[in-house]
Amino acid sequence: MKISSISILGYGKWSNVEFNQLADFQLIYGGNEAGKSTIMAFIHSILFGFPTKQSTIPRMEPKNKGPYGGKITLTETKLGTVTIERLRGKQPVM
């Protein structure tokens, strides 16, 4: 399984950002407060769900009060290309 793209609608300091064509080994670096840990927390939240309001884990809601969530596209899975998308609020059951 490989993360091929990340699309953030709103998560912490990141808003309307896309990272495409990620390599097999992707290095993310930057100074303090650049958003490295926020990207890691975003990936975790998309894969495993957003923290609840009662959780001790920070929720990283967008600073601009816009949409909360985004999507990740995975390739090389048993099912082929898979897109996982999560947004704030209750989603309709399909």
Every domain of the chain and the residues it spans: 2-88
**Predicted TM-score of the model (pTM):** 0.84
Report yes or no: 24 and 2 within 8 Å, Cβ to Cβ: yes
Q: What is the pLDDT of residue 93?
A: 56
Q: Which residues of the chain have pLDDT under 50?
A: none
Q: How far apart, in whole angstroms, are the C-alpha atoms of residue 59 and residue 18?
A: 20
Task: Please write the tens of the pLDDT for every residue from 43-64.
Answer: 999 999 888 778 777 778 777 7
- Cβ neighbors of 3 (< 8 A, separation 6 or more) are 22, 26, 43, 72, 73, 74
Q: What is the pLDDT of residue 84?
A: 94
Q: Options 3.40.50.10490, 3.30.390.10, 3.40.50.300, 3.40.50.12780; which CATH number does 2-88 get?
A: 3.40.50.300
